[in-house]
Structure 1
Amino acid sequence: MPAVTRAIVLWCPDWPVIAALQAGDLPQDTPLALLDRNLVFACSAAARAEGVTRGLRIREAQARCTQLQVLPYDPVLDARAFDPVLAAIEEITPGVQPIRPGTCVLRARGPARYYGGEEQAAAELLRCLEGLGIPDARIGIADGPFAAEQAARTTGAERIRVIPPGDSPAFLSPLPIAQLGQDELTPLFRRLGIHTLGHLAALGATDVRERFGERGAWCHTIASGLDSTAVVPRTPPKQLERAIEFEPPLDRVDQVTFAFRGTAEAFIGGLTKAGLVCTALRIEVTDESGRVSERSWLHPRLFSAADVVDRVRWQLQGSGSIESGLGSPIARVLVEPEAVDDIGHHEEGLWGGGADERIHHGLSRVQSILGHDAVLTATIGGGRGLAERQVLVPWGDRAVGVGARRPAVAGQPAGPGAVDRVRGAASRGGARCGRRAGRGDGTRRRHGADRPVLVDGHGTGCAPRRLLGGPVAGAGTLVGCCRLAHGAPLPGGRRGRERVAAGARGRRVAGGGAV
């Protein structure tokens, strides 16, 4: 049987909320909810006190808490905000392995021997996190990372829970089976009467493997308290970011960009020395009052030093010119890579660059002279008409949140449910319509309004001989369509109506004025 590693798990409750509050410089008692696909992904303690829970729709959450502040969930922000926490822990005890943003694990043997015991080591870790502004961290110590994490999540007011060696199976036994995190096997376990980890551990290991496979055997091992998962310390990332501080602060855009040029060259040189190129970076600007402005910039190929300087200038000046001053003097500028790639993937070909590279250099040159928003490229977005589907994006940026969707037919709803409603109307023999437009006096004729208009599965009108069952008055235009519950006309929008009207006029001439 493999050896079980004694582990320390450090858990920061509500870490996505903590990261968002720190990034937005918001008070700790702010009722905040983070959204993912229009559902509450995480919420603060103040929001939970008002009845907001994870999984609620945004409208229901706002109805329960009228002061609720809503922000989109950003996993990149979570990971970036947790890096300083990992660095601070590595300063007092090495060998940290991040599990997810807000949770990390390390071996218990080294810190326990250095600080004189497991509880003493845990207390030192809590003091370290309190210095970083995280006062509610929890620590669990047990046999194996899984049992240690469950101990951290079940701590009391002491915020430290130590499971003695060999007692992990008894500690895990009453926990629900859902704690394993196996969404596919959990419903099956429950149908078979296995509701706790102790129920699963009581079964034979061979029987579980034969019935549930390797994944089930792993669940049985974890439930039995025999977690032999090794703690693999992370390799500290290379310090690729660069920053420059101005003393005294500078209040002109050209002064800041000129002083930052050397930092940009050092930033690109550090990436080149590491064998990397930057395709996305984050620029953080701090003024003399402490306010921070940050933005992520993308590049279609890779950033050069001149490109980095251009992004700093664009972020500082916004829509103004380079001669314009700043609202507040700038005290610090930081540039950090967000996405890097191996430099070998971006080497020039044997015969130099092609036409695409020359086009890129030309457009980038024009953009550096005129501004970031001066060179735009068209992408396809959502909408009904062609003008609505055209989205202009600055050259070098990717269209965020814009996806090419199937164009909607003019005059018809765009959702997939609309097609089902149209087909349902066709199967029932059509919808009722008797509306006449174009008289100019605002009145409507109801003659023959109770007769059905047949609509086929494609939303095209199939008008019978007597479409509206009466004479067509004057120069009135026949509108041979039906409307759905939300008012979308059928079929075919304006062209469909013109086609039906043309057929009606032709039959009127041939039939002596009667349709």
Structure 2
Amino acid sequence: MLVLWCPDWPAVAAVAAAGAPLTKPAAVFLANRVVACTAVARKNGVRRGMRRREAESKCPELGVFGVDDGRDARLFENVARAVEELVVGLEVVRPGLIAVPVAGAAGYFGGEHPLAEKLLDQVAAVAGVECQVGVAEGLFGATIAARHGEFVSPGETARFLAPLRVTELDQPDVERKELVDLLTRLGLKTLGAFAELTERDVMSRFALDGVLAHRLARGLSERPPLRRKPPADLTLTEEFDPVLERIDVAAFLAKNLGARFHAALADRGLACTRLGIYATTEGGEQLGRVWRCAEPLTPQGVADRVRWQFEGWLKGKRPTSGVARLRLEPEETVEGKSLQLGLWHGGNRSEDDELTTERAARAFVRVQGLLGPEGVVTPILDGGRDPAGRVRLIPWGDPREPVSPPDATWPGRLPAPSPATVLEQPVPVRIVDEQGVPVGITSRKQLTAPPCRLSVTGGPPRTVLDWAGPWPVAASRRAATPQQARLQLLLAAAGQDNADEAVLVLCSGTENPVWTVEGIYD
């Protein structure tokens, strides 16, 4: 197998989408850590896993971008088209990585090295990006060979992998960080040392995930070759009227298609590892791409690849008309036993609970069909300093992944507990001391006097029974903001039938302080 690899593709795609030159350093961040960076940034000391503040201190001119899988897949479609002009049967493993069968193409172009030179020149001329090529047996071996620019002879893959560090097992599409850390602590620092263990010992110590990694270290594929062709009735075909011309509509429909496609396979006890996505436009154009996956696809994985492919088709070299027909075809399937365990959440929930959850999910999807993807959202607690900034609303069906680490150190963050209700629009109030003089904050973020009464405009004053704070709010480094501090107040009940109430207030400014209520505690 031949693998074509575009180094640092997320960073390269981000720079290309922004229209910036690759000569300037740039990095892509997730949860405030570097996940990819350009070669120029790496020369300045930026590394994967580095915190943003450290990366910017090493490279002050660093361009900062967020993770965007759709952007990466859309721009990588240009690379796939360039490769497809020379070879057939290519498979996109992930944005930045393409696998192709080498035998037929190498024979046509006169060998593996002439084929690699043709591909490198073709991608540089058509897509304008640099890439590396490697040849070896199996997807894992060929991927590692591409990263080292090696052409491994048949039968030599295990010998090629043996001296490499065991960290090579941790790939972007299949994370094995915990396994790699454990192997390193046990003294198995190279793939060869790990491969020398017997499969029985690996199974007893590392379970199934360790056995799969052990096969890769030995130069084998994760799974034996599957000779059986998937049944034709597992192919899912969908007609669109009106035709699809917008990416947001295609992304929404992909969720439903992914769930149906996965459910049909699960009924047969199967899971898909190579997904064919084929489309026919209203004008009769035929579009197609095969995605190869290291692990069996989940419903979300199917939906993601359909969405990425539509972004590549509709935002790249657009077809002359919209997509009228879509066909999802399982090019390769495996037994789905390991995947089916996740369907029952570990067996801790009853069948009635599962049916209720499934019905609720279908109802949410129907509501989204009426109101749009933003019509149904679920909250997720993310990193941040203020209560409103810590809560993000995620559209139903989208990955619930935090952007910032919620357990990180955030200067100025309030101590627990957080207010139960965070007001969408803060309410202006007036806070005075015992003499009726407005309370403010000093330049040192201290109160000018103990608060005594709080009143909303047009409402009666309420006595402050107790208070805590103030907690200074960290000023923004990018914009000039007034000095701010937060205060927790316990207010006396407004009437005999009401209870005491705790609120969170914010003071802005020192000379003419402005107080607002941000949240209410239960």
Change (3 A) 1:26 1:198: same
Partner Cα separation in structure 2 for residue 483 and residue 336 of structure 1: 59
Unaligned runs of 5+ in 1: 1-6, 156-160, 233-272, 284-294, 303-331, 343-355, 365-375, 404-412, 422-434, 445-452, 454-474, 502-515
Pair 1:191 & 2:185 matched:
yes
What's 2:417 paired with? 419
Deviation at 1:381, TM superposition (A): 8.0
Partner Cα separation in structure 2 for residue 165 and residue 42 of structure 1: 32
2:34 touches 2:47 (CA, 8 Å); kept in 1?
yes
2:37 touches 2:47 (CA, 8 Å); kept in 1?
yes
What's 1:490 paired with? 488
Pair 1:437 & 2:426 matched:
no
What per-residue deviation string (whole Å, max 9, x for no partner) do you get for residues 133-187 of structure 1?
44421011122221221111123xxxxx211222222211111112112233223
What's 2:332 paired with? none
What per-residue deviation string (whole Å, max 9, x for no partner) do you get for residues 296-320 of structure 1?
5689899xxxxxxxxxxxxxxxxxx
Aligned partner letter, 1:440: G
Pair 1:276 & 2:276 matched:
no
Partner Cα separation in structure 2 for residue 163 and residue 83 of structure 1: 28
What's 1:37 paired with? 31
Equivalent runs, 1:219-258 vs 2, <5 Å: 219-227=213-221
Aligned partner letter, 1:481: W
Deviation at 1:199, TM superposition (A): 0.7
Unaligned runs of 5+ in 2: 171-175, 227-235, 255-317, 329-364, 382-387, 402-410, 420-430, 441-449, 451-460, 473-484, 502-522
What's 1:27 paired with? 21
Partner Cα separation in structure 1 for residue 137 and residue 398 of structure 2: 45
What's 2:162 paired with? 173
Structure 1 or 2, whichever has the larger Rg, is: 1
What's 1:207 paired with? 201
Partner Cα separation in structure 2 for residue 206 and residue 77 of structure 1: 43
Equivalent runs, 1:255-270 vs 2, <5 Å: none
Partner Cα separation in structure 2 for residue 477 and residue 216 of structure 1: 64
Pair 1:164 & 2:153 matched:
yes
Partner Cα separation in structure 2 for residue 336 and residue 282 of structure 1: 5
Deviation at 1:45, TM superposition (A): 2.2
Task: Give the TM-score, by structure 1 length.
Answer: 0.51
Partner Cα separation in structure 1 for residue 204 and residue 500 of structure 2: 67
2:105 touches 2:115 (CA, 8 Å); kept in 1?
yes
1:278 touches 1:340 (CA, 8 Å); kept in 2?
no
What per-residue deviation string (whole Å, max 9, x for no partner) do you get for residues 353-406 of structure 1?
xxx999x99x99xxxxxxxxxxx98989899xxxx89x9x9xxx9999999xxx
Partner Cα separation in structure 2 for residue 208 and residue 301 of structure 1: 42
Query: Is 105-114 or 222-231 further displaced after alignment?
Result: 222-231
Change (3 A) 1:476 1:203: closer
Partner Cα separation in structure 2 for residue 398 and residue 212 of structure 1: 35
Q: CA RMSD in A?
A: 5.2
Pair 1:51 & 2:45 matched:
yes
Partner Cα separation in structure 2 for residue 104 and residue 84 of structure 1: 12
1:437 touches 1:476 (CA, 8 Å); kept in 2?
no
Partner Cα separation in structure 2 for residue 193 and residue 84 of structure 1: 43
Q: Which of 86, 100, 109 does residue 103 from structure 2 map onto?
A: 109
Task: Give the TM-score, by structure 2 length.
Answer: 0.50
Aligned partner letter, 1:482: A
Change (3 A) 1:485 1:8: same
Q: Which of 67, 74, 77 does residue 68 from structure 2 map onto?
A: 74
Deviation at 1:77, TM superposition (A): 1.2
Partner Cα separation in structure 1 for residue 471 and residue 325 of structure 2: 48
Partner Cα separation in structure 2 for residue 73 and residue 338 of structure 1: 31
1:105 touches 1:231 (CA, 8 Å); kept in 2?
no
1:8 touches 1:108 (CA, 8 Å); kept in 2?
yes
What per-residue deviation string (whole Å, max 9, x for no partner) do you get for residues 419-441 of structure 1?
299xxxxxxxxxxxxx9814135
SS in 2 for 1:218: helix
SS in 2 for 1:41: strand
Identity %: 30
Pair 1:149 & 2:143 matched:
yes
* Structure 1 segments (4+ residues) deviating >6 Å: 278-282, 297-302, 332-342, 376-383, 397-403, 413-416, 496-501
Partner Cα separation in structure 2 for residue 126 and residue 301 of structure 1: 36
SS in 1 for 2:28: strand
